[in-house]
A and B are shown apart, each in its own frame.
Chain A
Amino acid sequence: MIVEIGHFALILAFAVAVFQACVPVWGALRHDGVLVRLAPRAALLQFALVALAFASLTQAYLTSDFSVANVFQNSHTLKPFIYKWSGVWGNHEGSMLLWVLILALFGAAVALFSRRLPDDMLGVTLAVQSMIAAAFMAFLIFTSNPFLRLANPPFEGRDLNPVLQDPGLAVHPPLLYLGYVGFSIVFSFAAAALILGRVDAAFARMVRPWTLVAWIALTLGIAMGSYWAYYELGWGGFWFWDPVENASLMPWLTGTALLHSAIVMEKREALKIWTILLAVITFSLSLLGTFLVRSGVLTSVHAFAVDPERGLFILFILIVFIGGSFTLFALRANAMRAGSLFSPVSREGALVFNNLFLSVAALAVFVGTLYPLLLEALTGAKISVGAPFFDLTAVPLMIPLFLAIPVGQKLAWKRGDLAGAMSRLWWVLALAVVGAAVVSFAVSGGPVMALAGIGLGFFLIFGAFDDLLDRASRGGWGRFMPRLLAIPRANVAMVLAHAGAGLMVLGISATAFEKEKIISVKAGETFQLAHHSLTLNGLTTQTGPNYNALVARFTLRDGAGAPIAELNPAKRVYVGRQMPTSEVARYREGFSEVYLAIGETSGGERVDLRAYYKPYVLLIWLGPVLMAFGGLLSLSDRRLRVGAPRRARVAVQGSPAE
């Protein structure tokens, strides 16, 4: 019964979405305020209905209702509670429902928080958002319905893919979708601004908070996914340039560019056309990502069920929205007046530099991800484009960007003083070189590129914090503290976000210093790993709630031979699918980790082992977390409150604003 209510609610939500997609636009064209003002109410109703549908599917999962085909295929009575719950989106249909839920959530959030927007702007934005929602609801209902029943309900389900039975599943997809789908609202704002011909600084003020929300979620989502892959798959890597990872990286790169160009548009009314284009491109890339993940056209570790019909449907949605928005853009671009001009060496110039490199890096990722498809369609040759391609393209393109960040932070709007900016940066640069030299001494040399990377990381971090120091000390050291505390939150946010990028660069560079051992160990044997030693005490079996495991018991000892931890990497076989997975064992030491994964065992005595010592590996994910925290802080700056379309008055305080 509850499942039918959910099914019905989803169909009703589709009807509301179609209504919401048409009526406000019609109202805006006829200047009928009553019709336009229906949009926010429809958005709230739509969200309530989708939430009801989602809740009823969740209920079916929690009660293991195997008469629902989707629950039967992806759940099991023995599965722990958290995985019954997160299993709702651990499959194609359920995750699409989550997608639609988040689309509706953003519509409802705009309806609630952006009441101060002009009626027609709000109405048309919500209508565009609802067009996207209607398209995806149709996709759900007609090709991927999660509410279908089975005529003869089985007693037991097929269980969730064991790799997904991890707390990561509860966090990673919702965050990632919040980011991916969050850019839909930015897209809707852009489309509305184009339709109504209102591309101005007020637009930039309106979309910046939403861009920030989506960006924060996407940053955390990608970082979480990377961390999950690191500890779950047992390969010890953090990024594989897998097509599906690239699919999330592309909107992140252009979304980051958008975040920065919107600042220029807001403060200087420049880069208007470009900012709108970025908003359109970013969501188009999100749609492209959805298509790549769910159509099965690319070989990826994240394969959902391959179904050509679904692929075609999403391709159709993709073409309609991308084609439609680019046509709209082409029609209106001429009507937009170019903004104020600026010197190449200025804050605007620096942000253009940022946008240029981020976009070009996104282009490189785009080519590398889609080229195999193109080549196969044209010549039938099958190729794979992996890490070597991206290491030569996207990675070097990020280096000038990172180098420029500390410089850009110091340039003034309109016309900057490069010599003045550099005069302080020489000290920062010198400190960074000293930092890299100290590291080089501590590890007694190492790959030059890795040491350069460490220097770059330090340069970013010191450069970011120097900005705070510079501002606070400008009126003499006596008023240091009051001035430091008076720095606007948005500026502190920028400093933290850029320092986060620096931390990430440090973490990635440090992977060059990791120690790897692939060996076969017998019970009682000891081996060395970096400055630790590990002893295999023996192998035991263990029974979990829905799996049986073979556990290798290791003792980790420090250089002096004193035991510091017991590490128990395991091999699990899940009852439901009879599928083996590796369970990694890790020991954290500051930001560094000892990482053990076992392979095959033979004779109950010997075990094949992959052991790593990974120095400062946690910085790779701590960096993005700091970036996202910076984003949150910026969101809380009162100057950027959601939906205040007052014209920005450029603050002239003699100091460069963020």
Chain B
Amino acid sequence: MTRKQKRLAIIGGIGAVLALAMGLILTALRDKIVFFRSPTEVAEGKVRPGDSFRLGGLVLTGSVRKEEGQRVSFTVTDGEKEVKVQYTGLLPDLFREGQGVVTEGKLDPTGLFTATNVLAKHDENYMPREVADTLKKQGHWREDKPGGTKP
């Protein structure tokens, strides 16, 4: 191969791989991302039944119910609207009534949210940012929570 051909082969190869990668990334960005929704947004009909999304808010106090087997049901609220959630499996250690929670799953036509995943956090004082934003928007945010890490 001549110098020119060698250079062309290398540059062509690099271009092809970059194109492949961009194709993969763009496809994945279209199909594989999950939106975060608050109960208010769910009530406004922003989610179609069957779409996978993340639901975040506070666990409504008094709503956690253990059903047969490993099934648990609870209600997620943002102070305005509520969504009933059911989940089968072990809840994370920091799951508590009145605390922030993020769940991932799908809505069924009756408006029941079936979670495949309930997310845990490393720190009890840590509030998922999306949940904090939602609560701020609804006016339910208290700036200094008791037991916060700030002195």
Q: How many residues of A contact B (CB 8 A)?
A: 63
Query: Per a CB cutoff under 8 Å, which of B31, B70, B122, B129 touches A608?
Result: B70
Q: Are A389 and B29 in contact (CB under 8 A)?
A: yes
Q: Are A389 and B6 in contact (CB under 8 A)?
A: no
A589 within 8 A of B: no
Expressed in whole angstroms, the minimum distance between the Cβ of B121 and any Cβ of chain A is 6
Q: Are A73 and B122 in contact (CB under 8 A)?
A: no
A531 within 8 A of B: no
Q: How many residues of B contact A (CB 8 A)?
A: 47
Chain A residue with the shortest CB-CB distance to B132: A306
Expressed in whole angstroms, the minimum distance between the Cβ of B51 and any Cβ of chain A is 12
B43 within 8 A of A: no
Number of residue pairs A-B, CB distance < 8 angstroms: 130
Instruction: Tell which of A188-196, A380-388, A475-483 binds the partner.
Output: A380-388
Q: Which residues of B contact A15 (CB under 8 A)?
A: none
Expressed in whole angstroms, the minimum distance between the Cβ of B6 and any Cβ of chain A is 6
Q: Which residues of B contact A582 (CB under 8 A)?
A: 93
Expressed in whole angstroms, the minimum distance between the Cβ of A602 and any Cβ of chain B is 8
Q: Which residues of B contact A306 (CB under 8 A)?
A: 129
A69 within 8 A of B: yes
Q: Are B70 and A386 in contact (CB under 8 A)?
A: no
Q: Which residues of B contact A367 (CB under 8 A)?
A: 25, 29
Expressed in whole angstroms, the minimum distance between the Cβ of B65 and any Cβ of chain A is 13
Q: Are B122 and A303 in contact (CB under 8 A)?
A: yes
Q: Are B6 and A341 in contact (CB under 8 A)?
A: yes
Q: Are B32 and A392 in contact (CB under 8 A)?
A: yes
Separation of A234 and B29 alpha carbons in the complex (Å): 30
- Interface residues in A366-421 by Cβ distance below 8 A to B read 367-368, 371-372, 381-386, 388-389, 392-393, 396-397
Chain A residue with the shortest CB-CB distance to B147: A577
B48 within 8 A of A: no
Chain B residue with the shortest CB-CB distance to A343: B6
Separation of A275 and B40 alpha carbons in the complex (Å): 51
Chain A residue with the shortest CB-CB distance to B134: A382
Instruction: Tell which of A5-13, A17-25, A357-365, A442-450 binds the partner.
Output: A357-365
Query: Per a CB cutoff under 8 Å, which of B3, B70, B150 touches A519?
Result: B70
Q: Are B17 and A597 in contact (CB under 8 A)?
A: no
Q: With A384-B34, A385-B32 in contact, is A364–B24 under 8 Å at CB?
A: yes
Separation of A404 and B14 alpha carbons in the complex (Å): 15
Query: Per a CB cutoff under 8 Å, which of A296, A382, A397 touches B36?
Result: A382
Chain B residue with the shortest CB-CB distance to A70: B151
Q: Which residues of A contact B13 (CB under 8 A)?
A: 344, 353, 356
Q: Are B33 and A518 in contact (CB under 8 A)?
A: no
Q: Are B1 and A581 in contact (CB under 8 A)?
A: no
Query: Per a CB cutoff under 8 Å, which of B21, B102, B149 touches A393?
Result: B21
Chain A residue with the shortest CB-CB distance to B88: A518
Q: Which residues of A contact B34 (CB under 8 A)?
A: 383-386
Q: Which residues of A contact B94 (CB under 8 A)?
A: 579-580
Chain B residue with the shortest CB-CB distance to A361: B21
Separation of A343 and B9 alpha carbons in the complex (Å): 9
Separation of A581 and B120 alpha carbons in the complex (Å): 11
**Per-residue interface assignment for chain B, residues 119 to 142, with 1 indicating a CB less than 8 Å from any chain A CB and 0 otherwise:** 011111010111001000000000
Expressed in whole angstroms, the minimum distance between the Cβ of A648 and any Cβ of chain B is 23
Separation of A392 and B6 alpha carbons in the complex (Å): 32
Separation of A123 and B105 alpha carbons in the complex (Å): 57
Q: Which residues of A contact B121 (CB under 8 A)?
A: 301, 303
Q: Are B33 and A397 in contact (CB under 8 A)?
A: no
Expressed in whole angstroms, the minimum distance between the Cβ of A477 and any Cβ of chain B is 37
Q: Are B28 and A580 in contact (CB under 8 A)?
A: no
Q: Are B21 and A363 in contact (CB under 8 A)?
A: yes
B81 within 8 A of A: no
Q: Are A360 and B32 in contact (CB under 8 A)?
A: no
A473 within 8 A of B: no
Query: Per a CB cutoff under 8 Å, which of B17, B66, B89, B128 touches A357?
Result: B17
Q: Are A610 and B6 in contact (CB under 8 A)?
A: no
B84 within 8 A of A: no
Q: Which residues of B contact A352 (CB under 8 A)?
A: 10, 14
Separation of A161 and B27 alpha carbons in the complex (Å): 40
Chain A residue with the shortest CB-CB distance to B1: A343
Q: Are A301 and B122 in contact (CB under 8 A)?
A: yes
A72 within 8 A of B: yes
The 9 closest A-B pairs by CB, nearest first: A599-B90, A382-B36, A388-B32, A360-B21, A389-B32, A392-B28, A344-B9, A303-B126, A580-B93
Q: List 12 A-B contacts (CB under 8 A).
A: A69-B151, A161-B123, A341-B3, A352-B10, A364-B21, A382-B35, A383-B33, A389-B33, A392-B32, A582-B93, A599-B91, A608-B90
Known: A393-B28, A397-B21. 13 other contacts (CB 8 A): A299-B129, A306-B129, A344-B6, A356-B14, A357-B17, A360-B18, A382-B35, A382-B133, A386-B32, A393-B25, A571-B93, A577-B124, A609-B90
